[in-house]
Structure 1
Amino acid sequence: MGQADTAELDEVTGTKRFKAKRNAILAAASEAINEQSAKGMTFADVARRVGLNTTSVTYYFKRKEDLAQACFEHTLETLGEMLDTAQMEATPEARVARYLSLNMERFARIRENEERALATLSDLRAMEDPMLGRLMAAWREIFRKTRALWGEEPQNRRLKDLFGARAHVLLENTFWIPAWIARYDLDQFDRVEARLMDMFRHGIAVPGAKWEPAILDIEHEEAEPGREAFLRAATRLINELGYRGASVQRIASELNVTKGSFYHHLDAKDDLVIECYKRSFDTITETIQVGENSSGDWWHRLSSIIATLLDVQFSERGPLLRTTALTGLPRHVRQAMLDRSNRIARRYAGMLSDGAAEGSVRPVDALIVSQSLMALQNAAFDMRKWASAMPRDRAVAMYASTLAFGMFDDRAAES
């Protein structure tokens, strides 16, 4: 072997070593972001997870923001690759099934420690320009690719809106799976995938069921005037910018009050997030209670609950706090919030089971589908702009149709 060959081999070996170490840092940073948020992630913590010193990490990434950006870019690239693979299938149904399957395979590899979890995108909007602009452009391309699973962009505006709703619900469902998949053994993953795909194909309503919900009355007087507006503004900003991105100063500015006014309502920022969650969970629970006690079959009651909560998300009286804001909260607080979320999911599961026994709801896996309903109502906040371009009742019906009647019946665009 000549000197040129040896030099080339050293370069290849060095490049592989560099890539391997860089990938290990990205994996550790993604883990830290998922636990602490992008702003909470530190070089020291990432270095500890990889077994390096902080200086070694800065050799690969000069600034913490560069590392966070690389993590988000890796997530977006991975999603794009999965969508490109799914797009090769012949029909919309086959493409969605393939995309779901690729996600479940990835979750299985994570369970077996063959792969590390991707950085969640909840903190993406808290990044600063010019990074933010590039990341948001990449995210819009992911959304476009997901929407294209249903075919080329239609000329019919309603059909385009419907495809957009389906794309969003599909993405959010796959993003939410890690929150509950730990309850299932690895050998049950195929069954989970099959039950999710059954819901995506056929929905939860029985054939011939109509979408005729009632918007439930959950309005009541405020115990403390001004507090509701304060929590609403805080919820909106936390949803948009993440827990660490929504500063106390920014929330106060949004309401045109002083920073000191914040502390009139709450003692610390963690208290604010907890109160925002409590307000949201109380709203959901109250809506479910009113719906459960209303008249009609279980399909009518369940559809009325879904419609009311989507109406809240799309209106000025919303929004509900997204579960993405959990990132960055103390672990015990985060767990308490997830526990309450799961209790609400179990109420949905009970209604689905009662509806199936009655015959007004399709027999589905109630525990799995209830988590999809949680993802639906949780993610609707991001579709406010989409919803504002049409009458509210149409936006609610179209968005809800994705799980109510399935993702492949284009009659939903005619409603």
Structure 2
Amino acid sequence: MIKQILGKLPRKLSKSAENREFGGIANPSSNSSTNSRRSDLASNQFGHLNNPVLLGSNLAPSLNHGNKLPQFANLKLNENSVSLSYEALPSFRDVPSSEKQGLFIRKLNLCCVVFDFTDPTKNLKEKDIKRQTLLELVDYVTSANEKFTENFMQEITKMVSVNLFRALMSPTRENKVSESFDMEEEERSMDPAWPHMQIVYEFLLRFVASPETDTKLAKRCIDHSFVLRLLDLFDSEDSREREYLKTILHHVYGKFMVHHPFIRTAINHIFYRFIFETEKHNGITELLEILGSIINGFALPLKEEHKLFLVRVLIPLHKPKCIPMYHQQLSYCITQFVEKDCKLADTVIRGLLKYWPITNSSKEVMFLGELEEVLESTQLAEFQRCMVPLFHQIDCCLNSSHFQTWSSTFYLSPKVKVSVDIIVSSILITVIMFTA
């Protein structure tokens, strides 16, 4: 009975527990052991940042922290640690057919390691191994004779994302296009990682264009987020990269019909920002080339959203100062609209007159050339609507002090004169019929 009573009494706390209970200072040995455990946890949690072998492992996604771009792609690799683990995998020719799919996945994971190309003397052996592996992956996708599974597609888009999707390092770049723009003298910086990136782009192009790529499955991997990041890369200063992006996006648009409205809307947003905010973008020319093919495929009659695109995007693209960069492609897109719907000629001509350059004679020559192409497809009824403001602008050009402006206007005036003669003749015929 006494033992039961004593058992219910609170026991005396130990010295260390008493200190913890009342906020006292623990003994030094306990404090040092706690610090050591914390340091071990810290080293286990963040130690993989210094280990490039883990860059392609499951630990890497923990570095994203909500950012769409894979942050581990920008980490610097340690040359010694990579050389110990980065070894070439066997060739597809050296393994039986039953093991090729597994080897394909392993090669994709091997290519997820991104090297530092700013120093050409680093990781030479490893870079060569990766380059050869990428070439083997291109051959494998090109010669594939069975449908790619969804798992394959996920691994493919993962490897492509790690190697291509990155922040373009040009936040302080000034727009080099000025009044004296010369495309031949325009210098563009070339990405030092291009020897590997080019093969990755070729791999992605072959994968998208492959008949073994099932659209219904592939759209889960090549989704809106993937397309947006492709479009972000169009601002690259490397023209070679933009050419690959143009070809790939063209294939994506042709193969994935479900993405058609989204791609057009995303491109529109790029143009809106370029026209009304920054006037700085490296890929306007390539995007207009893609749109030229898209507009060429528009069905008749044109949808209202397509006409709004002409009014809100294409015509205001005459406003930026750097229009010489992309004027040829822009003129082609606008001419396509007029050829498909002649009633749009009045809208286009009035739009050109709205943004007509006043003090830049070289831009005036470009506008006159575009106006000439538009007039080729303009019907008489549409010409009569914009005739008065058009003649006023032509008169100003004829009185220009710059010889290129008035000489180009002389080439334009015969076409206008024919239209005027037709109008005058029709008026005279009408008068004669009424007087008779």
Select the structure of larger CA radius of gyration. 2
Q: TM-score, normalised by structure 1?
A: 0.27
Which of 1 and 2 has higher RCO (CA within 8 Å, sep 6+)?
A: 1
